[in-house]
């Protein structure tokens, strides 16, 4: 007798989908449940990501749980309402389906009526995925075209900078204009005047922070925020647009040559003369040689300030002895102090050689001292066990809030059906409850995923010993660029104590670092780029491993 097909239902809806297309999680689930009932399929799980974009797997906890269950062999088929519920990008969709196929799990789309258990189904998936991505990209291009045309006519796109706000000028709220917030505008003018008078970015940021000013987002001013204000032509009455393409993916590497810079419809905050003077100074300072520190800083970005917790950066002092000899001392200093000044934090400098020596000695001690390594393993396992109860308690609290919200939804539905509340009030309250419910359901998914990881088998002593030995060997053998790469891959955080000495070193190993950097290389002569030469092979990892030295 044939066993029934074990099906996992996956549903997803983003905030944009709900607003623009009216997609409903309940409608997707109801449709797929009826399909499974009609074709005698057994539903072994329903995985629902609510209010999450399909651009990537980040934050999609239910999808991650589904893929884990596929590896366990408890699923035969994954079914979705539409293939774009699984992923927006074709390459991501193919990657997810490939992961399923490696575990003998087929993928089926209800609306497009194909499944990947057949060759034609795989072909249809790739074609439909490409068509779907083309459709999405066309929409994105049309939106960009509209934004560009709006910018060409002198209208602003996106968030407004310090000094401006938008006000509606018609009853329907379709038209608006940009006006000046005089209190903020005064600050902006002061900032430009300070720079024109010869003050540097850090000096201006330090001054503003000491006086208690904040950015539009409520954070202290930094050299970057001051620079962005000084370089923004909106303050002189112009609209600048299209400096970068695909900022979310390419960041500053997406700079374009099709910059739009036109006169805007909004009022200027600074005069043309002041703007031109500041830009002349900005251009002159950009061609000045930047400070370059000699020496190799192994721990930049890893070692953290004991006062504010920010990453510490390279710094140095240069003094002269009585005989005229130059004495250079190298340090790690608080990055926030260097960027935002003494009102935010202090230098809290630590000698470079002392910090690096302390970290490497701490690693060496853990490798050579069996007692310490066993203590680490015991601590890791106890910590993982200790995490389970708080997570379970929080999960119980989340579930209680979910149940309460469901009861409230039924209560308002009953009141509406009995005509005791109007449609507008009912819609408003239902929207509020659904928003709260989605947040709690997402939190529940994340907690369930964390509990699943924490309830895995205990970490073995052999695994930790092997990983630490390889890490230590590579630190001793490798040239500086590889050592720094390895440090940033495996060291999660280095914390200083009150005496500005290394207090703790947090390490984090995962499957990718173990596979590419701590396992055997192909050969000394023919290595993949970035591989580190080392003989032997470490035990295979099943999950991320974190511990403190």
pLDDT in tens, the chain (549 residues): 568 889 988 888 765 544 344 457 787 888 888 888 888 889 988 888 876 665 656 677 888 888 888 888 888 888 888 877 777 676 777 778 888 888 888 888 887 776 666 666 666 666 666 666 666 666 666 666 766 676 677 777 778 888 888 888 776 656 778 888 888 888 888 888 888 777 778 888 888 888 888 888 888 888 888 888 888 888 888 888 776 565 455 555 556 666 777 888 888 888 888 888 888 777 766 655 454 455 678 888 788 888 888 888 888 887 777 777 888 888 888 888 888 888 888 888 888 888 888 888 888 887 777 887 788 777 777 766 766 777 788 888 888 888 888 888 888 888 777 777 777 787 888 888 888 888 888 888 888 887 776 555 677 777 777 778 777 877 777 777 667 777 777 788 888 887 888 888 888 776 666 665 566 544 434 333 344 555 555 555 556 667 677
380 and 478 share one domain:
yes
Using CA atoms in the order 78, 82, 88, 89, what is the torsion angle rounded to 10 degrees? Answer: 70
Q: What pLDDT is attached to residue 106?
A: 85
Left (φ > 0), alpha (ψ -120 to 50) or beta: where does 300 sit?
beta
In whole angstroms, what is the distance from residue 380 CA to residue 366 CA? 14
Q: In this structure, is residue 295 part of a structural domain?
A: no
CA–CA distances in Å: residue 444 to residues 116, 138, 396, 465:
31, 35, 9, 35
Q: In this structure, is residue 394 part of a structural domain?
A: no
Say what the pTM is. Answer: 0.48
Q: In this structure, is residue 487 part of a structural domain?
A: yes
Q: In this structure, is residue 239 part of a structural domain?
A: yes
Using CA atoms in the order 87, 92, 96, 102, what is the torsion angle rounded to 10 degrees? Answer: 160
Q: In this structure, is residue 1 part of a structural domain?
A: no
Angle between helices 119-152 and 90-102 (to 10 degrees): 150
Q: Which of 277, 273, 271, 272 is nearest to 195 (CA)?
A: 277
Quote the tokens at residue 530: 């970035």
Q: What are phi and psi of 307, to 5 degrees?
A: -95, -50
342 and 382 share one domain:
no
**16 near 84, Cβ under 8 Å?**
no
Residue range of the domain that includes 26: 6-141
Q: What are phi and psi of 357, to 5 degrees?
A: -65, -40
Any bridge partners for residue 495, and if so which?
Answer: 304, 504
How crowded is the C-beta side of 297, counted as CA atoms within 13 Å? 21
Q: In this structure, is residue 415 part of a structural domain?
A: no
Residue 14 appears among annotated catalytic residues:
yes
539 and 449 share one domain:
yes
Q: How many structural domains is the chain composed of?
A: 4
In whole angstroms, what is the distance from residue 141 CA to residue 156 CA? 18
371 and 478 share one domain:
yes
CATH of the domain at 25: 3.40.50.1390
CA–CA distances in Å: residue 392 to residues 118, 379, 439:
42, 20, 18
One of 14, 109, 333, 349 is an active-site residue; which one? 14
């Amino acid at each position: 007798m044939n066993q029934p097909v074990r099906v996992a239902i996956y549903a997803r809806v983003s905030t944009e989908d709900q607003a623009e297309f009216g997609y409903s999680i309940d409608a997707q689930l109801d449709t797929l449940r009826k399909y499974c009932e009609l074709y005698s399929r057994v539903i072994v799980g329903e995985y629902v990501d609510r209010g999450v974009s399909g651009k990537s797997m980040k934050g999609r906890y239910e999808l991650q749980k589904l893929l884990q269950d596929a590896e366990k062999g408890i699923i035969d088929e994954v079914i979705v309402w539409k293939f774009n519920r699984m992923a927006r990008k074709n390459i991501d969709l193919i990657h997810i389906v490939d992961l399923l196929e490696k575990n003998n799990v087929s993928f089926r789309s209800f609306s497009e009526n194909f499944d990947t258990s057949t060759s034609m189904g795989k072909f249809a998936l790739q074609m439909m995925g490409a068509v779907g991505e083309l459709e999405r990209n066309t929409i994105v291009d049309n939106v960009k075209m509209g934004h560009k045309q709006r910018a060409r006519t002198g209208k602003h796109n996106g968030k407004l900078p310090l000094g401006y706000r938008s006000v509606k000028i018609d009853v329907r709220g379709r038209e608006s204009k940009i006006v000046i917030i005089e209190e903020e505008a005064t600050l902006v003018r002061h900032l430009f005047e300070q720079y024109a008078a010869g003050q540097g970015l850090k000096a201006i940021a330090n001054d503003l922070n000491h006086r208690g000013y904040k950015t539009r987002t409520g954070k202290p001013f930094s050299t970057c925020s001051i620079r962005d204000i000084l370089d923004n032509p909106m303050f002189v009455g112009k609209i600048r647009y299209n400096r970068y393409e695909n900022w979310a993916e390419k960041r500053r590497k997406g700079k374009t040559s099709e910059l739009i810079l036109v006169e805007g419809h909004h009022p200027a905050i600074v005069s043309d003369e002041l703007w031109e003077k500041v830009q002349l100074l900005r251009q002159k300072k950009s061609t000045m040689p930047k400070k370059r520190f000699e020496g190799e800083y192994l721990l930049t970005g890893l070692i953290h300030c004991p006062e504010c917790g920010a990453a510490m950066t390279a710094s140095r002092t240069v003094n002269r002895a009585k005989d005229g000899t130059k004495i250079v001392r190298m340090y790690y200093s608080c990055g926030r102090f260097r960027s935002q000044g003494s009102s935010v934090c202090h230098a809290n400098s630590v000698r470079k050689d002392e910090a690096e020596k302390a970290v490497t000695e701490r690693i060496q001690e853990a490798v050579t001292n069996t007692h310490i390594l066993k203590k680490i393993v015991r601590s890791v396992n106890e910590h993982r066990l200790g995490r389970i109860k708080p997570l379970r308690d929080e999960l119980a609290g989340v579930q209680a809030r979910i149940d309460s919200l469901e009861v409230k939804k039924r209560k308002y539905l009953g009141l509406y059906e009995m005509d005791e509340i109007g449609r507008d009030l009912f819609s408003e309250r239902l929207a509020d409850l659904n928003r709260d419910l989605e947040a709690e359901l997402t939190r529940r998914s994340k907690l369930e995923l964390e509990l699943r990881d924490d309830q895995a088998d205990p970490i073995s002593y052999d695994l930790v010993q092997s990983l630490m030995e390889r890490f230590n060997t590579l630190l001793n053998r490798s040239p500086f660029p590889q050592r720094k790469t390895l440090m940033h891959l495996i060291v999660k955080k280095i914390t200083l104590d009150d005496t500005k000495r290394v207090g703790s070193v947090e390490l984090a190993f995962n499957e990718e670092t173990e596979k590419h950097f701590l396992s055997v290389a192909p050969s000394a002569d023919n290595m993949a780029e970035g591989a580190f030469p080392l003989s032997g092979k470490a035990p295979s990892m099943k999950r991320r491993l974190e511990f403190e030295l």
